Amino acid sequence: MKLKYGRENLEFEIESSRVLDVLKANEKEGVKDPLAEVESSLEVPIGTASLAELLAASEINELVIIVNDVTRYTPYDYLLPPLLKTISEAGIKNEQVTFIVATGVHSPHSDEQNREIFGEEIDDNYNFIHHDCDQDLADLGQLSTGNQLQINKKVVDADFLITTGVILPHYMAGFSGGRKSILPGVAGRESIENNHAMMVEVTEEKPALKNNPISQEMFEAAEKVGVDFILNVVTNSRREIVQVVGGDYRQAWEAGIAKSAEMYHLSLAEKAEAAIVSSGGFPRDINLYQAQKALDHADHAVQKGGTIIWVAECLEGYGEERFQKWMDQAQKPEDNIDRIKKKFLIGGHKAFAISKVAAEKEIILISSLNQEQTENIFAKKMETIQEAVDYLEAKHQADYSAYIMPQGSLTVPVVK
């Protein structure tokens, strides 16, 4: 078999009798004409008038488009040309349009990354601002949870606000896209931390999406900011557009949920002794911070005391300073589990997420990290997947079952 690792594939062999299943997404074919689908979603959106009509009815001096950062692949080569054409035809000039990159607490793009993601023509002709969660924020008061909502001032001051994104499973919020463009996308650090602090409750109780407090608060934040139009897509593992949804920030997003769940929520009859999981290659395994989602998904498929072989290149190392600091300071996984319950901090939440798996299961990591860095996250370093599989054979004396998860960041095992 082959599993993605960065921009490459790693091969290994395993006895077929050991494999309970290869957990791949229930793939849907990409639409034949993505540009036409995007155009249609702008002309006949869900829950609103057409984008052209909305723009014509508004007095717009400054229009803001929120876009994803490099860690969340979004097919902007299809989304942006029809969107910008509609905006231009409404009489809105390029200089009146600002792109805000929804970095959340992530680092800004390099110039090269920005051009690669959005294309040279768009990068040259429009103003791009990378959100900074520590400055240039507007205070919008408290949410019903008591969380003080601070949002990028440019977003709040916009006369018309459009958000873009991809609807995929998300280990905390249920699904990405939609309301996540606001919180955490362009929110202040404390607002993000207070929202994400509920992950301890969510990971323990695993509530249904409609009862997920993280998602509920994100919706409230989006409503408070006032999102005028969203343009989201559901993509398959080949990054083809399967569905385009545009329109109302809640109704359009919810219209994409069923398709995404149908593809990526995989029903299992039982848990296994082991899982071999790839984070899905670049950019999903660009660093540990991003790659962790696959570990969380594999955790759902493995029995307590089992083994997870985790394949993630992580060329950028840990990917976040506080995350690394927490791992440096912890002597055992339980230290991070106790610490997050005393005070939630962004970055620390990734240390918690990895530690809660390491507390119950053995993690073997195949990555570019050295042995010290690997052991620092309570994992065992091995150089190849084959070495790890051979270790499994010896550990369980050839008596074990395993799931293989080639698309670990996307596929979510759901045990019946």
At residue 8, φ and ψ (nearest 5 deg) are -120, -175
Predicted pLDDT at 398: 82
Query: Listing from the earlier edge strand, what are the strands of the sheet with 97-102?
Result: 127-130, 97-102, 63-68, 160-166, 229-235, 241-247
Cβ atoms of 247 and 281 within 8 Å: the answer is no
Using CA atoms, how far apart are residues 101 and 150, in angstroms rounded to an integer? 16
Burial of 19 (0-12, 13-18, 19+ CB in 10 A): middle
Q: Is 150 helix (H, G, I), strand (E, B) or coil?
A: strand
Predicted pLDDT at 71: 76
Using CA atoms, how far apart are residues 115 and 178, in angstroms rounded to an integer? 24
Cβ atoms of 336 and 324 within 8 Å: the answer is no
Q: Can you read off the two tokens belonging to residue 332?
A: 């055992």
pTM of the model: 0.85
* Residues β-bridged to residue 68: 102
Q: Is 131 helix (H, G, I), strand (E, B) or coil?
A: coil
Cβ atoms of 46 and 131 within 8 Å: the answer is no
Cβ atoms of 264 and 242 within 8 Å: the answer is no
Burial of 42 (0-12, 13-18, 19+ CB in 10 A): buried
Using CA atoms, how far apart are residues 201 and 340, in angstroms rounded to an integer? 11
How long, in residues, is the chain?
Answer: 416
Model confidence over 97-122: pLDDT tens digits? 999 999 998 888 889 999 999 999 99
Cβ atoms of 209 and 2 within 8 Å: the answer is no
Helix (H) or strand (E) holding 318: none
Cα 156 to Cα 148, 152, 196, 220, 225: the distances in Å are 15, 7, 22, 15, 6
At residue 66, φ and ψ (nearest 5 deg) are -90, 130
Cβ atoms of 312 and 336 within 8 Å: the answer is no
Q: Tell whether the torsion through CA atoms of 163, 169, 171 and 173 is positive or negative.
A: positive
Using CA atoms, how far apart are residues 129 and 261, in angstroms rounded to an integer? 33
Helix (H) or strand (E) holding 291: helix 288-299
> How many CB atoms neighbour CB 41 within 10 A?
26
Predicted pLDDT at 135: 96
- Give 200's contacts (C-beta < 8 A, 6+ positions apart): 340, 341, 344, 352
* DSSP string computed for 209-255: GGG-HHHHHHHHHHHHHT--EEEEEEE-TT--EEEEEEESTTHHHHH
Q: Is 286 helix (H, G, I), strand (E, B) or coil?
A: coil
Q: Can you read off the two tokens belonging to residue 203?
A: 């990971």
Predicted pLDDT at 73: 86
Predicted pLDDT at 203: 82
Looking at residue 100, the DSSP 8-state letter turns out to be E
Using CA atoms, how far apart are residues 288 and 281, in angstroms rounded to an integer? 12
Q: Chunked in runs of 10, what are the mean pLDDT values of the chain (416 residues)?
A: 96 96 94 98 98 97 95 92 98 98 89 92 96 97 97 98 95 92 97 92 85 96 98 94 97 95 94 97 93 95 97 96 97 96 91 97 98 98 98 91 95 90
Q: Is 160 helix (H, G, I), strand (E, B) or coil?
A: strand
Domains recognised in the chain with CATH numbers: 2-24+265-415 (3.90.226.30), 34-235 (3.40.50.11440)
